[in-house]
Structure 1
């Protein structure tokens, strides 16, 4: 009997420790409870990860249910993490008012050669409808804290939002964005200096979508974009010609609390040989929404792992995931 007990103890002490599991939600904004549209980057100076996000004013209870002022007047929030698993609120980004506006959406953070770049969607005011003009402004920073005004993205439209930027193998850069003047199609433009851009004539795909995110993974370029009924997925060998995947990501609601609606406007971090997708989820299907008609305005950030097989990407949002991020650069 003693031998059996000792054997059992040995098995327990030599068994590998259980992997950590990312919480659900991964992050919830403590000010307005409306975190959305994240962009995640490694902050090498502080040896931590930083998540910039649209800080929707989700706790506002406006008399008119059609009034979308709560999605305007939005600052950019910041959360930080040492490991990608536990995120802490880090205040609001210090964005210069001289080149932006009252409403800030969808930051895109890109790092190169000691400089952080941000392409930020700006709406010049607070509006009760979705009809305000939009533009994308380029800012730079040496440290993710102090931002300097740059150029306004000039691609021939006064209603563009949601930038995504990648450096191509040729050494040139490509930016993707949603053009609301062109039936909300996603277009691309090219640059050699991150300042002057030449727009491509045709959209990436002939369907409406927003929040494109382009990244490289498993030997391909990929784009995920929010089609308001899950995320469409496109694959490319050269970031120019795209093939639309026949299945969407995060279209079906999850089963865990706070993850029970479709996933929206995602960021993707490729870390080593793994890829993690960070998406926001409205809270209309949560128990609190049964007694609070404004609860649906609230959004939280979730994380899941992207899987690649047979030329396609998939994600199981209900599978627990160790989303630990290794240091970058």
Structure 2
């Protein structure tokens, strides 16, 4: 519940849209992630473009999906649909692409994408994480299929390790939908390091740094579970989840699902999606994050202004990764 004494930003302050974004093609934008497009001078959002309007049996409408792209020139407050990522197909026919993780290192953008062959009507079939590279965020080239802990892996999240190299967190459905990790010295070769979170089924990990701590936020289908660490290895689950009760903004009247967290200096933001009424159409939303006495909090109804800038971004999203 929001603070009843909080005052709304004054007219002219930089208030983000609510909903932040809706996909104009199929109305099924989910699993959003944002990255600074240095060449265009814009923030870009990549997302799973669910086919909420698709006929047919079962869960075919959540498969056969492209990766949608939207752009923002006003610090993330409003978004324009731009199309879909190109060059992802590497098998014939219609296939499924989910949950992009997009980062930049040097002059290269890297995308780690969940992939399923074909358009299944049920939750069946192998799932793999594919690694793509790009020079412009439009056109992508397949680098490899990652060999991880099983053939049922999705939802990659990547963050640099303090001693060098990178760690990836992902969901392993073959291990009770727990969160596993893998390490890489170069963003190309990855070695599984084992399970990280095994206390419950969960998905959609997002890792970031805010308020002097590392945070790992996961989707538990009843809001977001929060885990805190000081070394990116040992995680302690926070008692209070995030977004576990519906909000009051337009299109925010449902629990929050699979999102990503963006830190701007000492400010934090959670970009997530909702399915109001449990229906197929979805909404992308953004809410402010704060750290109070070592606890990560998110009051989705509280008024806030927002102006993302690449030079203020903490690691990964607003510029080059560390060498």
TM-score for both structures, normalised by structure 1: 0.88
Structure 2: distance between partners of 1:61 and 1:321: 39
2: distance between equivalents of 1:134 and 1:221?
Answer: 28
Paired residue for 2:164, among 149, 171, 181? 171
Q: Deviations over 1:120-142 (max 9, x none)?
A: 00010101101121000000011
Q: CA RMSD in A?
A: 1.5
How many Å separate the matches in 2 of 1:127 and 1:301? Answer: 25
Match of 2:28 in 1: 34
2: CA distance between counterparts of 1:87 and 1:18? Answer: 18
Q: 1:103 aligns with which of 96, 116, 119?
A: 96
Matched, 1:274 2:257: no
State the 1:217 CA deviation.
1.2
Query: Secondary structure in 2 aligned to 1:240?
Result: coil
Which residue of structure 1 aligns with residue 63 of structure 2? 72
- 1:231-242 superposed matches below 5 A: 231-242=224-235
Aligned 8 A contact 1:22 1:320 in 2: no
CA drift at 1:17: 5.6
- Among 40, 52, 57, the residue aligned to 1:58: 52
Tell me how far 1:206 sits from its aligned partner.
Answer: 2.1
Whether contact under 8 Å (1:99, 1:149) holds in the other structure is: no
Whole-Å separation in 1 of the counterparts to 2:242 and 2:66:
28
Alignment of 1:133-212 (within 5 A): 133-212=126-205
Of 194, 213, 223 in structure 2, the residue corresponding to residue 230 of structure 1 is 223
Q: Does 1:93 align with 2:76?
A: no
Structure 1 runs of 4+ aligned residues shifted over 6 Å read: none
Aligned runs of 1:249-268 on 2, under 5 Å?
Answer: 249-268=242-261
Paired residues, number: 301
Give, in whole Å, the separation in 1 of the partners of 2:156 and 2:182.
11
The answer to whether the Cα contact below 8 Å between 2:178 and 2:195 also exists between their aligned partners in 1 is: no
**2:295 alignment counterpart:** 312
Q: Normalized against structure 2, the TM-score is what?
A: 0.90
Residue in structure 2 matched with residue 8 of structure 1 by the alignment: none
Q: Corresponding residue for 1:118?
A: 111
Matched, 1:300 2:283: yes
Determine which structure has the larger helix proportion and give its number: 1
The 1-side partners of 2:163 and 2:19 are apart by 39
Contact persistence 1:304–1:323 (CA under 8 A): no
Could you tell me whether the CA contact under 8 Å between 1:231 and 1:249 is conserved in 2?
yes
Cα distance in structure 2, aligned partners of 1:198 and 1:108 = 18
Q: Deviations over 1:244-296 (max 9, x none)?
A: 000100000012221100000011111222111000000216xxxxxxxxxx0
Structure 1: distance between partners of 2:181 and 2:203 = 13
SS in structure 2 of the partner of residue 259 of structure 1: coil
Cα gap change, 1:217/1:99 in structure 2, threshold over 3 Å: closer, same or farther? farther
- Matched-pair contact (CA < 8 Å) for 2:149–2:172: no
Higher relative contact order (CA 8 A, sep 6+): 2
Q: Contact (CA 8 Å) 1:47, 1:327: kept in 2 or not? A: no
